[in-house]
């Protein structure tokens, strides 16, 4: 019943690609990674979105390569779904079927392959020449709250008397997010307007948010769904996941504080959510599995429906995450983006397998391409806080940028850049690419 992808020869660190840039130690996309995404060519092509695979600084036009007969060993089902303009049908394949895509791409791109190189090259595009899109049509987007450090920090600001609510260690807290406003990395994010009630005021006012924030998260795309009414057991939960990405869950803190009772965040979040465009497969991440978070003594064990041997042993991912910020003045001065924090997915209180098991425990159905996000990934230390609300402690301790500018919350023109990667001795580094977004000024209000 229990299932996780194994480590196999596709992870062999000595494998190289004939795409030279994939062999660079610093690349996010060595031949051991091979994430899929959806792209359009900026020049030429028919303008239609197509499925691509990242390799070094190139994108493989997967459909074209497959149709040219260059991807050997693909099942008929895999061949069919790669013709789509979203990854939903691919995600809906059983893990073994999806695995044929990874193996076939790996064989095609392997330096040892005596492929007709000239023909192969015609199916590669430079990363600089493509636009990358949200990889699936996301039916439902769920956002969790799986970092106990984040929950404790935020709780202590909003509810100093009870920072961590009594349900936290039992319930993987989550809420439904907005699918329509999920955008791909690079899309500008307009500062939202909304209601807020300033401290001390009796009535709220409506206007552009003055407390715009990012949230550093990791997203999991659903693989094959479950039937409505049929829960997924935690041990087999990962069969229902197709891969991971980075997520910036932009948040208007002033709007959030005023609106969130009693039904949770709504307009404070629904104006935009940015995802990184490459879906890093669980297969590629196999060498980087770590035990689920070890609960400190005194914490209750998970209820049985959230507990399995496999999950305890290797439900986590040793994934390092960073947030960087670049202000307009920094860019004008030629400063590189400044790192604001670094944290680790392995510090989360709940694993993705537990989130899937909880989500479906009431019979709720997942559909291939759905997005489940972790919630803000904050660690125990101050430099591991995954949003400005925590980093600046509600704006009271602004951060200083290289230009001397300070930030309590985001200003117009600020670019937020998130990165993530897995690294382990004896394996090639597996990167997630970037999740970027620049704050655009609010729309004029009437």
Cα 258 to its chain centre, rounded Å, is: 28
Q: Cβ–Cβ contacts within 10 Å for residue 232, how many? A: 22
Q: Which of 133, 149, 150, 240 is catalytic?
A: 150
x/- track of binding to a second copy for residues 133-172 (CB under 8 A): ------xx----x---------x--xx-----xxx--xx-
Please identify, among the stretches 70-78, 230-238, 343-351, 419-427, the one whose residues bind a second copy according to the rule CB under 8 A: 230-238
Shortest spacing between CB 315 and a second copy, in angstroms? 18
Shortest spacing between CB 313 and a second copy, in angstroms? 20
For 89, the token pair is 């049908």
Rounded distance between C-alpha atoms, residue 109 and residue 22, angstroms: 10
Shortest spacing between CB 67 and a second copy, in angstroms? 28
x/- track of binding to a second copy for residues 319-348 (CB under 8 A): ------------------------------
Instruction: Note whether 266 binds a second copy by CB under 8 A.
Output: yes
Given a contact cutoff of 8 angstroms between Cβ atoms, the answer to whether 55 and 18 are in contact is no
x/- track of binding to a second copy for residues 101-140 (CB under 8 A): --------------------------------------xx
Cβ-based nearer residue to a second copy, 71 or 252: 252
Considering only residues 357 to 376 of the shown chain, the ones binding a second copy according to CB under 8 A are: 358-359, 361-367, 370
Shortest spacing between CB 181 and a second copy, in angstroms? 5
Using alpha carbons, select from 117, 133, 140 the residue that is nearest to residue 47: 133
Considering only residues 198 to 227 of the shown chain, the ones binding a second copy according to CB under 8 A are: 203-206, 225
Cα 125 to its chain centre, rounded Å, is: 24
Instruction: Note whether 69 binds a second copy by CB under 8 A.
Output: no
x/- track of binding to a second copy for residues 387-426 (CB under 8 A): ----------------------------------------
Query: 257-280 in b/e burial notation, b at 16+ Cβ within 10 A?
Result: bbbbeeeebbbbbbbbbbbbbbbb
Q: How far is CA 96 from CA 14, 73, 91, 221, 365, in A?
A: 24, 12, 11, 17, 22
Please identify, among the stretches 69-77, 120-128, 175-183, 405-413, the one whose residues bind a second copy according to the rule CB under 8 A: 175-183
149 belongs to the catalytic site = no
Instruction: Note whether 231 binds a second copy by CB under 8 A.
Output: yes
Rounded distance between C-alpha atoms, residue 50 and residue 132, angstroms: 10
Considering only residues 294 to 323 of the shown chain, the ones binding a second copy according to CB under 8 A are: 300, 303-305
Among 13, 75, 80, 258, binds a second copy (CB under 8 A): 258
Instruction: Note whether 3 binds a second copy by CB under 8 A.
Output: no
Shortest spacing between CB 282 and a second copy, in angstroms? 22
Please identify, among the stretches 57-65, 67-75, 107-115, 187-195, the one whose residues bind a second copy according to the rule CB under 8 A: 187-195
Residues that are catalytic: 150
């Amino acid at each position: 019943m229990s299932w996780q992808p194994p480590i196999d020869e596709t992870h062999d660190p000595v494998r190289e690609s004939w795409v030279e840039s994939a062999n660079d130690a610093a690349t996010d996309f060595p031949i051991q990674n091979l994430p899929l995404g959806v792209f359009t060519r900026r020049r030429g092509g028919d303008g239609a979105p197509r499925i691509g695979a990242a390799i070094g600084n190139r994108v493989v036009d997967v459909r074209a390569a497959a149709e040219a007969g260059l991807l050997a060993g693909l099942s008929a089902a895999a061949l069919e779904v790669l013709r789509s303009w979203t990854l939903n049908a691919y995600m809906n394949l059983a893990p073994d079927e999806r695995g044929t895509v990874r193996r076939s791409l790996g064989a095609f791109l392997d330096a040892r392959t005596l492929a007709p190189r000239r023909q192969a090259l015609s199916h590669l595009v430079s990363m600089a020449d493509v636009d990358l899109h949200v990889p699936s049509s996301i039916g439902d987007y769920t956002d969790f709250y799986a970092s106990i450090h984040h929950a404790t920090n935020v709780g202590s600001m909003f509810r100093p008397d009870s920072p961590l609510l009594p349900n936290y260690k039992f319930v993987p807290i989550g809420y439904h997010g907005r699918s329509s406003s999920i955008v791909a990395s690079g899309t500008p994010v307009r500062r939202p307007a909304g209601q807020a009630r300033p401290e001390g005021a009796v009535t709220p006012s409506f206007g552009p948010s003055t407390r715009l924030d990012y949230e550093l998260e990791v997203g999991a795309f659903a693989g094959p769904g479950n039937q409505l009414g049929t829960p997924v057991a935690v041990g087999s939960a990962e069969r229902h996941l197709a891969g991971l990405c980075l997520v910036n869950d932009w948040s208007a803190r002033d709007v959030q504080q005023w609106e969130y009772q009693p039904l949770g965040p709504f307009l404070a979040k629904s104006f935009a959510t940015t995802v990184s465009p490459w879906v890093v497969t669980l297969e590629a991440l196999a060498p980087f599995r770590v035990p689920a978070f070890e609960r400190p003594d005194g914490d209750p064990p998970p209820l049985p429906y959230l507990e399995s041997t496999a999950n305890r042993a290797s439900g986590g991912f040793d994934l390092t995450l960073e947030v960087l910020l670049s202000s307009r003045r920094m860019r004008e001065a030629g400063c590189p983006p400044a790192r604001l924090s670094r944290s680790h997915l392995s510090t989360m209180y709940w694993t993705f397998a537990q989130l899937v098991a909880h989500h479906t425990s009431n019979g709720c159905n997942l559909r291939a391409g759905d997005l489940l996000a972790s919630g803000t990934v904050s660690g125990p230390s101050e430099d591991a806080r995954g949003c400005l609300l925590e980093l600046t402690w509600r704006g009271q301790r602004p951060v200083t940028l290289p230009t001397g500018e300070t930030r309590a919350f985001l200003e117009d023109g600020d670019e937020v850049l998130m990165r993530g990667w897995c690294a382990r001795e004896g394996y090639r580094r597996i990167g997630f690419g970037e999740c970027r977004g620049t704050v655009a000024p609010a729309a004029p209000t009437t």
